[in-house]
Amino acid sequence: MDFDKIAVIGERELVLGFKLIGIHDVYISSGKDAITKFAELLNGKQYNLIMLSESLRGEMDSNLLRLASTSLKPIVIFIPVPGSGARQESVESLAKRILGVDIASLKGGS
């Protein structure tokens, strides 16, 4: 997996886990700053995948949300914040389903 083509934007709890598995382009941000960074990365087209905190979905205007939903390069996925309490797919199973990366095995690996 080419982690140089993946970006993650969101809360500290979310972003640091991805940094630990080797994703370099992580942005700890929330609110309007996170939305601005996302729009910049989406328009830059340098990433294959942008992962965003689920909490940012509600802060996006309808045009940006539509772009996020229909973009093929980069692919945009929203991921739950750890400990959010909502019944959502775990980050581990989401990464395995979308990326084909088994985060659990990476934690115990190198």
Cis upstream peptide for 74 (omega within 30°):
yes
CA–CA distance, 4 with 13 (Å, rounded to integer): 21
Please tell me the distance from the alpha carbon of residue 22 to that of residue 82, in angstroms, as a whole number. 18
The answer to whether residues 86 and 40 touch, using CB atoms and an 8 Å cutoff, is: no
Give the pLDDT confidence score for residue 84 in this predicted structure.
Answer: 59
The Cα 20–Cα 60 span in angstroms is 28
Give residue-wise pLDDT tens across range 41-90.
999 889 999 999 998 988 899 999 999 888 888 999 998 876 655 545 56
Domain that holds residue 11: 3-108
For residue 49, the cross-strand partners are 6, 75
Question: To which H or E segment does residue 69 belong?
Answer: helix 62-70
CB 25 within 8 A of CB 48: no
pLDDT at position 103 over 90: no
Q: In this structure, what CATH number is given to the domain that contains residue 16? A: 3.40.50.10580
Total number of domains constituting the chain: 1
Amino acid at 90: S
What integer pLDDT is reported at residue 70 of this predicted model? 87
